[in-house]
Structure 1
Amino acid sequence: MSTSSEVWAVILAAGSGTRLAASVGGVKKQFLLWKGFPLFWHSAITFSHTPKISGIVFVFPPDQVEEMKTVVADLDGADSLGLPFKVVAGGARRQDSVFNGLSVLPAKCTHTLVHDSARPFASGPLVTNIIDTLVSGIPAVIPAVEVTDTIKEVEGDTVKQTLVRSNLRAVQTPQGFYLPILLAAHKMADEKGWDVTDDASMVEMLGSELRGADEYADNIAGMESSKVKVHICAGEETNVKITNPEDLKRIEENAQPVPCVGWGYDVHKYGPGRPMVLGGVPIAGGPQVIAHSDGDVLLHALADAILGLFGGGDIGFHFPDTSAACENMASGIIVTEVLSQAEEAGVEIVHVDLTVIAQVPKLSPHRNLIQKNIAALMGLDKSQINVKATTEERLGFTGEKKGIKAVAAVTGLKRIKKG
């Protein structure tokens, strides 16, 4: 990209979204929350992560533009885009909203990308490819994907003709333009009363007009009229548009779960108290432990690790040793409770790694039963539970047979809740 080229993105979020609003409580689709942010902001983040974008213009419904100036400023304040941005009111039609956005672009802007906020999944590589194509000298470029269905042109309720599928493409946004060409197309559209569904259509019509007009034979906006054509580049199957209620499912389909890890640790002292239990399995002949609950050091470490998956605190907070209700409580109840909290937080547990640290007792005779019991308690397969044991070579607290320790590492996938 040459140093003389400056590219701004125009994000259109001025639509009424009537087809979708009724199914989501009247919320316009561009303001639906996904991963804690409105749909339009996800596109802004993608643009901000693309070094070749110099700034962003947001276009909102006229009756909400003042409110949205504050919203955008707050969003940027919480997690800055690192780019200059402007907020303007849209118009009655899509093309009017686009023109309003183009009208506030800085004088240095040479190219623009026009993007629908209802396409929050457009990727950075797609944006970069469009820009690279533009600055190579192409006046207009739009992403497109092959049509997989047979398309028929109809007249009323009868088929007029079947279109050749190999010649058809489904187009997406962002659509990229050499700015003077797009401005010329808008001017001509206004003069001739064109009503179009996307900016590429307008440029197509401009090119057709110019090629048939002698007065534009030499150039238009610094470009030969014969070269005013719209080119396509590879689009993305994942760059879907949220239009109908069923499209809302795509938000969840495209949401990638975030890996998370919880770590837990617990220790109990040996002494007159409670019979030893590890992983819910009674350990016959093992030392007694001093504890408020049943003293299952392994399940206590596991419960703490599960809480760590979603920032749920620790078992001392949820099950304090000052509570009469927790006295002699089976640790399986504690694990079941924190598992329920993890599920509510959107966490799916995929693996558990447990280690018992003790000089006595020997764990090997009980390892398989502990593994099986914990798998059943957590609703997991045995292969997802690993149980290990080690000593501390007769050193320290456990090496002197004064107590027992356990550590747990739990791996999960966390679904980010909308809003």
Structure 2
Amino acid sequence: MTARASTTWAVILAAGSGTRMGGDRPKQFLTLDGAPLFWRSAETFSHIPDLAGIVFVFPPAMLDESARMVEELTASRPLGLPWLTTAGGERRQDSVANGLAALPKECGRVLIHDSARPFFSAGLATRLIDALDEETPAAIPAVAVTDTIKECESGCVTRTLDRSRLVSVQTPQAFLRDVLEAAHALAVEKSLQATDDASLVEALGRPVAIVDGEQANVKITNPEDVRLLQKEAAMIPVTGFGYDVHKYGSGRPMVLGGVPIQGGPEVVAHSDGDVVLHALTDALLGCMGGGDIGQRFPDNDPRFEGMESSFFLREVLEDVRRTGIEIVHADLTIIAQIPKVGPHRERIAKNIAALLALPPERVAVKATTEEGLGFTGQKLGIKSVAVVSAIRRS
């Protein structure tokens, strides 16, 4: 079974005692957006097109209560995914092992995530899955260390570490299931202990890929971190607008929103001429004040000749997410006399939702003509406009 031939599940670790937080309940049950903290991670995972299901790992003493909680949450805030629950173990790695044991047999890739990190994006999880293959069985998110790190002993500094070689590691972490299970078996055999699963894969001698993490993907650990949950509610709305035009003529086969349009007129373009994704990319750039698509990907650069426009979109989308902006909705209109967009509308919307890692109901694709007026009415070309709604954490 190859990495691409099997399903992907997520394991959400919500079994810790949360002793550093104080209070009468573990931190994963703190309230965020009207639901327990662990639910935020589940909702983010539900936006990943490749995900097949979720396993929740809860404290053994709270397993039945927590399972009922998930049932109630799915009734009011459906995930659209199957889910399972299982009891955690004494240590984090024991909880992971229990989560792995609960996965269905067809699961070949797994995302392991600490519920105390509720602010990761669906895009990050998607990039981790994409990084997996048979030669690279593990992928983890990491951010550069900006503080000076010193090694100490008995209250004194023994040496200063080279921070250019250091990264701070986050979750979720992605693995080929069989490799992670082998790593946990080795840990049992050799009594190894680790604070993350990648360390166990490293002990197997298998490579672990690094994917750019997210500064917003912070961990709720201490009582003062609760302020992050309070701050999460204070977000700044941002809007990006995009507009693009292509004329008809001998050139590229028509593609709209990443969907080939059979029988449509050819367009004159340097890249693949996808007017919809070009407008959408411009709107994303607008959300972060990042200029326009022509500045970012010049049409006189031979590297971009014939390039699929989804490449431009993904590049910009990663930059948007790195700046702490979360895309929440996209509204697109295609203006053309020909071709008829209606038969392709659903596929275009579905493909754009997948590219943006948004649920389908957050992507609108509309089409109109200009009743014979202007260059589109005279069937000389096509244009598209896009409006993207997003939130930026203050």
- Conserved in 1, the CA contact under 8 Å of 2:3 and 2:108? no
Aligned residue type for 1:179: R
Shift in CA distance, 163/38, structure 1 to aligned 2, threshold 3 Å: same
Q: Which of the two has higher C-alpha Rg?
A: 1
Give distance in 2, aligned partners of 1:2 and 1:104. Answer: 19
Gaps of 5+ in 2: 238-394
**What's the counterpart of residue 357 of structure 1?**
none
Q: Deviations over 1:77-133 (max 9, x none)?
A: 111111111000000000000000000111111110000000000101101100111
- Conserved in 2, the CA contact under 8 Å of 1:122 and 1:236? yes
Per-residue deviation, 1:253? 2.5
Aligned length: 236
**What's the counterpart of residue 44 of structure 1?**
42
Shift in CA distance, 202/136, structure 1 to aligned 2, threshold 3 Å: closer
**What's the counterpart of residue 121 of structure 2?**
123
TM-score normalised by the chain length of structure 2: 0.58
Per-residue deviation, 1:200? 0.7
Give distance in 2, aligned partners of 1:181 and 1:3. Answer: 15
Give distance in 1, aligned partners of 2:105 and 2:64. Answer: 25
Per-residue deviation, 1:186? 0.5
Q: In the TM superposition, what are the counterparts of 1:237-276 in structure 2 within 5 Å?
A: 237-257=215-235
Q: In the TM superposition, what are the counterparts of 1:64-143 in structure 2 within 5 Å?
A: 64-135=62-133, 137-143=135-141
Shift in CA distance, 34/188, structure 1 to aligned 2, threshold 3 Å: same
Aligned residue type for 2:189: E
- Conserved in 1, the CA contact under 8 Å of 2:53 and 2:83? yes
User: How large is the RMSD of aligned CA atoms in angstroms?
Assistant: 1.6
Per-residue deviation, 1:136? 7.3
**What's the counterpart of residue 207 of structure 2?**
229
Give distance in 2, aligned partners of 1:146 and 1:153. Answer: 18
Aligned residue type for 1:239: N
Q: In the TM superposition, what are the counterparts of 1:338-417 in structure 2 within 5 Å?
A: none
DSSP-derived class of the 1:103 partner: helix
**What's the counterpart of residue 191 of structure 1?**
189
**What's the counterpart of residue 18 of structure 1?**
19
**What's the counterpart of residue 170 of structure 2?**
172
Give distance in 1, aligned partners of 2:49 and 2:134. Answer: 17
Per-residue deviation, 1:257? 4.3
**What's the counterpart of residue 31 of structure 1?**
29
Shift in CA distance, 113/229, structure 1 to aligned 2, threshold 3 Å: same
DSSP-derived class of the 2:174 partner: strand
Gaps of 5+ in 1: 208-227, 260-419
Aligned residue type for 2:180: L
Runs of 4+ aligned structure 1 residues displaced above 6 Å come to none
Q: In the TM superposition, what are the counterparts of 1:2-13 in structure 2 within 5 Å?
A: 4-13=5-14
Give distance in 1, aligned partners of 2:230 and 2:99. Answer: 31
Per-residue deviation, 1:30? 0.2
- Conserved in 2, the CA contact under 8 Å of 1:115 and 1:174? yes
DSSP-derived class of the 2:54 partner: strand
- Conserved in 2, the CA contact under 8 Å of 1:5 and 1:135? no
- Conserved in 1, the CA contact under 8 Å of 2:14 and 2:115? yes
TM-score normalised by the chain length of structure 1: 0.55
**What's the counterpart of residue 151 of structure 2?**
153
Shift in CA distance, 136/235, structure 1 to aligned 2, threshold 3 Å: farther
